[in-house]
Structure 1
Amino acid sequence: MTTLHAIHEDPHLLVLDKPAGLLCVPGRGEDKQDCLSARALAQWPDARIVHRLDMATSGLVLMARGAAMQRALGEAFAQRHVRKGYEAIVDGLLPVTGEWALIDAPLAADWPRRPLQKVDAGGKPSQTRWRVKHRLADRHASHLWLEPLTGRSHQLRVHLLSIGHPILGDTLYGDEEAQRRAPRLMLHATWLEFAHPADGRMLRFESLVPFA
């Protein structure tokens, strides 16, 4: 089993950099037992999952050490006291304005096509801020900064699709052309910011985006 490199490690929590293509927790079947949580447990026997990234998404994952810290960090996520930032490359050329835009679109499970999600007026409130980092004119694409203000399943992927700019390489929500234009889902969890539950000091961790 591959050894993990911790971006941060202390007696209370871990910050790990998950590669694309690795599950956060085990799936069904023997071929889906290798995952971030299993690798973490092999190195830190008290490691516990607090939140997840999609298998296809790379980047920062926060894990608790022990049940008490898992509860504390879980509450911080529930109260939206943990801020998360992402970067993505999406189809289409968006204007570089220097301003943040907001996608405010409720999401619900697309039951006939589970685990897919969809924009639904009767769904859970969901908000994403986005801003253009730069345009990739030769690829007819845009590199975005993203900040989800809520934490719904597949939120960034569905929200960007809803404004007509699917993430390149998205095999769940992108059309065939968008899928062909990248070797992986072009979505990376770039930064995390939160107060350490043990002493209250503010922490911020960053991970370099592995694509351009």
Structure 2
Amino acid sequence: MSTEMFIASEPDINKRLDLFLSEKFEHMSRSYVQGLIENESVKVNNKIKKSNYKLKFKDEISVEVPIPVELQVEGENIPIDTIYEDSDVIVVNKPQDMVVHPAPGNYTGTLVNALLYHCKDLSGINGVIRPGIVHRIDKDTTGILVVAKNDNAHNKLAEQLKNHSMTRTYYALVEGNVKQDEGIVNAPIGRHPVDRIKMAVVKDGREAVTHYKVIERFGDYTLVKCNLETGRTHQIRVHMAHIGHPLVGDNVYGYKKQKFNLKGQVLHAKELGFIHPTSGEYIHFDSELPKYFIELLEKLRGRVSK
């Protein structure tokens, strides 16, 4: 890790922080710079700021720049549940206990490793670690993901995510009896002020909007359908915990002691819809709930009927 220092001059006044740094580091994309800012590797006058912070005269900007590491992510013969595939996209159903892309300390066994073996042509926009990955779901979350097979498809799908036109519907089992049949959680999400590994609803966080609707009630538990407007890290988990109904099995944002023998939060990315990057037609996909999820619901239904 090296630290670079800059001082804002008169031409930099009112310039966005991310734009300023992407101009200083010509080899870095603006999205990469924004990632550094989001990960708190950038400080202005020794304080954390957002990407859209407008610079002031003589602001002191420090940047902790990671030392480049040459990485080679290998394809692995891991089975993939492919729902749809053409020359632009591949839609897959991710199982539980699988990480979407390699990360420090976890460079094998990921969805990307599997994709590189089964599908050689993936977009290169996110580099060697995240080829083709337009959006992510957590390791223990199951369900649908769309992966881009070329840069044009990647850009068009990313734009749909940005303007909230991509349909993403999740099923979640939450703690407690959700009294309202439906509702909206509009609460900004950012890094937890104390536990930096976690996310939280924070005043200066990024906009986050989740729509939820009750599907079925089981007394002490509720099955809800959640639609995302935004896609913040751990958004559904954070938002449902924020309104007093953390996800069952979530020992990060929910209860430490769980009543069921689960590997993680009971959350499934069930539906995905988007405008096809080449045909321009809206296509929609639906996936079955995983076996463990179905069995848990059946167990709860049995409790209620007795």
* Fold shared per TM-score above 0.5: yes
Corresponding residue for residue 273 of structure 2? 193
2:96 to 13, 20, 34: 20
> Share of identical aligned residues, percent?
30
- 2:227 aligned with 1:147: yes
Q: How does 1:148-163 map to 2 (within 5 A)?
A: 148-163=228-243
- 2:263 aligned with 1:181: no
The alpha carbon displacement at 1:56 in A equals 1.2
- Flag the structure with larger Rg: 2
Q: 1:51 to 1:26 in 2, by over 3 A?
A: same
What letter corresponds to residue 36 of structure 1 in structure 2?
L
The alpha carbon displacement at 1:181 in A equals 3.1
The alpha carbon displacement at 1:77 in A equals 1.1
Corresponding residue for residue 102 of structure 1? 184
- 2:43 aligned with 1:3: no
- 2:150 aligned with 1:66: yes
Q: Is the 8 A contact 2:78 2:109 kept in 1?
A: no
Q: In 2, Cα distance between the equivalents of 1:86 and 1:162? A: 17
What letter corresponds to residue 198 of structure 1 in structure 2?
T
Corresponding residue for residue 56 of structure 1? 140
Q: In 2, Cα distance between the equivalents of 1:68 and 1:38? A: 22
Q: RCO higher in 1 or 2 (8 Å CA, sep ≥ 6)?
A: 1
The alpha carbon displacement at 1:121 in A equals 1.6
Total equivalences in the alignment: 206
The alpha carbon displacement at 1:41 in A equals 1.2
| CA offset digits 1:80-132 (Å, max 9, x no partner) | 121100000000012363xx310111111115422311111211111100011
The alpha carbon displacement at 1:32 in A equals 4.2
| CA offset digits 1:158-201 (Å, max 9, x no partner) | 00000110001112211223x34351310000000111010111
Q: 1:83 to 1:111 in 2, by over 3 A?
A: same
Q: Is the 8 A contact 1:27 1:33 kept in 2?
A: no
Corresponding residue for residue 89 of structure 1? 173
What letter corresponds to residue 50 of structure 1 in structure 2?
V
Unpaired runs of 5+ residues, structure 1, are none
1:117 to 167, 188, 199: 199
Q: In 1, Cα distance between the equivalents of 2:212 and 2:139? A: 22
Where has structure 1 moved over 4 Å in runs of 4 or more?
A: none
- 2:291 aligned with 1:207: no
Q: Is the 8 A contact 1:106 1:122 kept in 2?
A: yes
2:121 to 46, 55, 70: 46
| CA offset digits 1:127-172 (Å, max 9, x no partner) | 10001100113xx100001011111111100000001100011122
| CA offset digits 1:30-78 (Å, max 9, x no partner) | x542101110111011131111001111100100011221122112211
SS of 2:289's equivalent in the other structure is coil
Aligned residues: CA RMSD: 1.5
1:79 to 148, 153, 163: 163
Q: In 2, Cα distance between the equivalents of 1:9 and 1:116? A: 35
What letter corresponds to residue 207 of structure 1 in structure 2?
S
